A and B are shown apart, each in its own frame.
Chain A
Amino acid sequence: MAERALVDRLNEVVDAIIARGDATAALRDPELATLARIAVDLRHYPSPEFKARLRVQLERRTTMTAATMAPAIREGFTTVTPYIRVPDAGLFDFLTKVFDAEETFSGHGGGGGMHREVRIGDSMLMIGEGSGTGGMMPIRPMAFHVFVKDVDATFARALSAGATSMGEPEDRHYGERSGFLADPFGNQWYVATPLRPESLAAAARAVTPVLHIEDAASYMEFVKRALGAIEEIRVPGPTGELRYGRVRVGDAAIELGEGVPMPGSFMLYVADPDAMYHQAIAAGATSVMPLSDQPYGRVGGVEDYAGNQWFFARPQAPTS
């Protein structure tokens, strides 16, 4: 009973502190005095959402500064482009129906299959269609966080295009209304609409790849070493695991989280593919494509210990 009474007395003090900054009630209650002092200090606890939002604002300014100093490595692309490998053209049709994806390029890739470049909002994806019998880019589904204007409408379109619900759209405590889907090809789409226009999510690009991985906290350290990634957000879980994280690589973001591994492939447009390739190898990755000059530019690729593949490329200057 005494414990219960303390719970209620403390709550009254906290109510007064939140409403009026007034902790005088606690001064007469020695059992509460030190707890009340902590509660008073917590009134000034900086909002994590505010801090993350301000950080994104500052980054945008610095990215804009950097962008004026160095032209885009490949126009229309950010540093990181997810490369999804699927057996046929079905995924492209799905993305067109659900996300109004537009094809910006199609042609035959090095392995003979179709290579497509697809724009969703302000983001690019590459799709390789082919047999998937091993090789450099085996068929593997990936996961994506996608921001759309109306999550409910997009979710419904996805279901009618053959996707399966992994979680109906709901308002989430992290500031977005989101629903989770698996497409018929095994890719996962976390479709979201920011709950408030000023929320952090509103500042994100349309599509951000999500890497599910075992021991995501260690993997975050790896991508910092291998790719020079910069940690943006780290949300630890109850036992210290990385529940959610986000890193920046160049001007692009990648989200990370603890989960059943879904290794993916990525094309990175960088000024110096040789330096990036050797840095990744030095961090423990293994080569899957030695550096070479191809008709489209210089490129080399590695696979890391978690099975993710990273291709570093500097496109050939266009000839006219």
Chain B
Amino acid sequence: MTPTTEDDRLLLEAAQADPARFVDIYERYVDRIHTFVSRRTGNRAVAEDITSQVFEQALRTLGRFEWRGVPLAAWLYRIAANALADYWHDRGREAHEPPPEVPDADEGGELDRRIALYQQVDQLPDLQRRVIRMRFVEEKSIRDVAAALERSEGAVKQLQLRALENLRKSMGGHG
């Protein structure tokens, strides 16, 4: 699933010729950038805000980006790292936080694993997927999920267990 450098070059050329094609770059990298940022902020609202900034800025500077064989991910990580540095700076945290760097090979592998997991969520049966989204994205309680789905709390807990077991299986059992 990791995009190749050749894919990147084609995506970039298409988007530079027609900015409407920038969404193809966005679709390919939004999960990766969101996950990269989210690991460093631990806060969903902040991660979404910074992810938005990254793609808005990438679109603004698209025309000036020169292809030199460096993956698009590296360009986007660099924009994200700068946005994160600004975020911490604005909160007076520069003395305590190491500068956010682009991912090394270990973190790259970890990001790949998480993105694969998120793609597996999309493949879950409908009710299981909705339980996962309501619990983890919307942070709803079991009671609220049960009310939204018109199911008992016990049934929702069962769906939660099944969903996580299915995700463990689809990830090769290693979680």
Q: Determine whether the beta carbon of A11 is less than 8 Å from that of B157.
A: yes
State how many residues of chain A have any CB contact under 8 Å with chain B.
Answer: 40
With known contacts A45-B137, A238-B125, A10–B164 Cβ distance under 8 A: yes
A76 in the interface (beta carbon within 8 A) = no
Cβ 8 A contact of A58, one of B56, B125, B158: B56
Q: State how many angstroms separate the Cβ of A265 from the closest Cβ of chain B.
A: 25
The residue in chain B whose Cβ has the minimal distance to the Cβ of A64 is B19
Q: Determine whether the beta carbon of B35 is less than 8 Å from that of A35.
A: no
A6 in the interface (beta carbon within 8 A) = yes
A96 in the interface (beta carbon within 8 A) = no
Determine the chain A residues whose CB is within 8 A of the CB of B65 once the complex forms.
none
B135 in the interface (beta carbon within 8 A) = yes
Cβ 8 A contact of B117, one of A42, A237, A238: A42
Q: State how many angstroms separate the Cβ of B169 from the closest Cβ of chain A.
A: 10
A108 in the interface (beta carbon within 8 A) = no
Determine the chain B residues whose CB is within 8 A of the CB of A46 once the complex forms.
30-31, 34-35, 38, 51, 118
State how many residues of chain B have any CB contact under 8 Å with chain A.
Answer: 52
A6-49 residues with Cβ-Cβ distance < 8 A to B are: 6-8, 10-11, 14-15, 18, 21, 33-35, 37-39, 41-48
B142 in the interface (beta carbon within 8 A) = yes
Cβ 8 A contact of B135, one of A18, A21, A38, A47: A18
Determine the chain B residues whose CB is within 8 A of the CB of A38 once the complex forms.
117, 164, 167-168, 171, 175
Give CA–CA (A237, B123) in the complex, Å. Answer: 9
Main secondary structure, interface of B, reads: helix
Q: Determine whether the beta carbon of A35 is less than 8 Å from that of B168.
A: yes
Q: Determine whether the beta carbon of A34 is less than 8 Å from that of B38.
A: no
Main secondary structure, interface of A, reads: helix
Stretch of B42-50, B70-78, B80-88, B95-103 on the interface side: B42-50
Q: Which residues of B contact A (CB under 8 A)?
A: 18-20, 22-23, 26-27, 30-31, 34-35, 38-39, 42, 44, 47-48, 51-52, 55-56, 59, 114, 117-118, 121-122, 125-126, 130, 132-133, 135-137, 139, 141-142, 148, 154, 157-158, 160-161, 164-165, 167-168, 171, 173-175
Ordered nearest first, which 5 A-B pairs have the shortest CB separation? A34-B175, A44-B38, A62-B19, A42-B136, A37-B175
- Extra inter-chain contacts (8) besides given A38-B164, A45-B133, A45-B136, CB under 8 Å: A10-B161, A38-B167, A42-B135, A46-B30, A46-B38, A51-B31, A55-B26, A62-B20
